[in-house]
Amino acid sequence: MATTNQNTVTQTFPVLGMTCASCASSAESIVTHQEGVVSASVNYATGNLIVEFLSNVTNAEKIRKAVQGVGYDLLIEDESKQQESLEVIHEKKFKQLKNKTLWAVILSLPVVIIGMFFMDMPYGNEIMWVFSTPVVLWLGRDFFINAWKQAKHRKANMDTLVALSTGIAYIFSVFNMLFAGFWHQRGLHAHVYFEAAAVIIAFILLGKLLEEKAKGNTSSAIKKLMGLQPKTVIVIQADGKEKQTPIEEVIEGNVILVKPGEKIAVDGMVISGSSYVDESMLSGEPVPVLKNKNEKVFAGTINQKGSFQFKAVKVGKETMLAQIIKMVQDAQGSKAPVQKLVDKIAGIFVPVVMGIALLTFIVWMIFGGENAIVQGLLAAVTVLVIACPCALGLATPTAIMVGVGKGAEQGILIKDAESLELAKKVDAIILDKTGTITEGRPQVTDIHWLNNDDSTKDILLSIEKQSEHPLAEAVVKYLGEVNPTTSSNFDSITGKGAKADHNNETYFVGNSNYRKGLFTV
């Protein structure tokens, strides 16, 4: 949630029950016209409503009731539980669609085979009727239910087109089969089109299944970002005891213990201990950063080998990680200038298609000759069927969602959809982080020994193996084939290097500031 002034708040809610871009336009329109709503935007690809409203005039529950009035619903749960609920809903919907699609394809196959190759077989029409009926009336029932909901509110969407095209084809075929004499008396053959009705349902269901899968895949970037935050942390209580605490219960001022290899849960300040922390998810720099007392640490970053305690400064929505997640979500839900044009077209798309279908039928009736009614009906159904997938309303928002999501997976945060659209004009890129264009792992490329004497390389390896410094790992990997010796009294000198004893002699490893060093790395 982002507050824009004292009484105006902006919130994001998942919209449930949408089946096409026209649904998004319908839901957006009804919310926009609610009292107290300043602005509203529904993105079909992300399934989210971003609404700005006056909190002293309306609230989330009132907006939800308005959306329910046109056949959709809003998920207004707490944001911490919202993602889990959405995943459950998505998983359930995907399984249902998968089963429906599978059965629709299985039942449609015999209808297609008979309709294409064995039209004159005994009881062919009756067999096709038996197989197509469950596809149209059971597996495709949601299209008719949703079309009826829209019709009650004097609206139309893609479900309306599917319901009209398949419904007309099915009813027309049943009539031709049961009352074939009606056409025979007029010198016409009573054709049936059960295969058209069944195949349309099967194909639309398959398209929706692929669409649902694409939506699930593109949300993986958000899931990965959320996965950077651990579910529980170790809080040091006032009596010094350690307590495993859910992340939701952590408050500002809590002292948290971070062990080697653990993810840091919230933003804070180190109060004791030190360690190297991998902050590449924030800075892009792959080399871990040394954290000492009074230095800041951030949620989602990864502690390396040491352990330390830090005081929680920012928790929940206030952490930098939470802000990044919010930014990616907002960018995925934002609309590019071209999409605003697409939304306008999608809003009038269905009525226009229905008008064209009706006009097609009328033209055939006037100029179609003997078979005018049949040909006109088929032509009108064809117009409705061709428009069903509505690639226009889906392609643009899906492309934006996928683009922003893929960017986030690669560590590139895209501010909004307009930035993504303008990216096509980019002809030069300036990078200020070396980690962006390197492998992200320091490597030793060459080594020079004082007086060409490498007799102490086993001692060097022994000392570096005990160090936590990321450059020490590179040295260890370079000297991997050397058998290390034993050393004692290892000591790390912050910002300089390390030292250790071997056979009653002290050896030093460090940078150029470490003047007594035998080795310079």
Say how many CA atoms lie within 13 Å of 195 toward its Cβ: 15
Domains held by the chain: number = 3
Contact 414, 401 (CB under 8 A): no
pLDDT above 60 (res 125): yes
Contacts 24+ apart (CB under 8 A), 379-383: 380/168, 381/165, 381/168, 381/169, 381/193, 381/196, 381/357, 383/353, 383/356, 383/357
Question: Token pair of 26, please?
Answer: 């319908």
Report the candidate in 203, 183, 186 with the shortest Cα–Cα distance to residue 195.
Answer: 203
Has residue 113 been placed in a domain? no
Single residue among 45, 61, 76 that ends a domain in this structure: 76
Q: How many CB atoms lie within 10 A of CB 392?
A: 13
Per-residue pLDDT at 84 exceeds 70: no
Beta partners for residue 21, in sequence order: none
Residue 394 has pLDDT above 60, yes or no: no
Q: At what angle do helices 79-117 and 194-218 cross, to 10 degrees?
A: 150
Compare 139 and 492 and report the one with higher pLDDT: 139
- Of 295, 318, 341, the one marking the end of a domain is 318
User: Which residue among the candidates 120, 239, 427, 432 is catalytic per the annotation?
Assistant: 432
- Whether 261 maps to a domain, the answer reads yes
Q: Closest Cα partner for 435 from 279, 286, 283, 281? A: 286
The boundaries of the domain holding residue 485 are 450-520
Catalytic, 73? Answer no
pLDDT, tens only, 398-429: 677 777 777 777 767 777 777 888 888 889 88
End-of-domain residue from the set 76, 110, 131: 76
Residue 102 lies in a domain: no
What pLDDT does residue 436 have? Answer: 58
CATH number for the domain spanning 13: value is 3.30.70.100
Rounded Cα–Cα distance for residues 193 and 379 (Å) = 13
Report residue 232: phi and psi, to 5°.
-135, 160
Q: Is residue 146 part of a domain?
A: no
Structure tokens at 275: 């360690």
Instruction: Tell me if 282 sits within 8 A of 228, measured CB to CB.
Output: no
What is the three-class DSSP state of 329?
A: helix
Q: What is the CATH number of the domain that holds 253?
A: 2.70.150.10
Distance CA(9)–CA(125), nearest Å, equals 60
Q: Is residue 19 in a domain?
A: yes
In eight-state DSSP terms, residue 514 is: -
Mean pLDDT of the chain: 80
Q: Is the pLDDT of residue 518 over 60?
A: no
CATH number at residue 504: 3.40.1110.10
d(CA 174, CA 453) in angstroms, rounded, equals 95
Task: Note whether residue 61 is domain-resident.
Answer: yes
What confidence tens digit (pLDDT) does each residue in 323-357 have? 887 777 777 666 667 666 666 666 677 788 888 98
The single-letter DSSP state of residue 264 is: P
* Model pTM score: 0.61
Q: How far apart are CA 215 and CA 190, in angstroms?
A: 43
**Residue 207 placed within a domain:** no
354 domain residue, yes or no: no
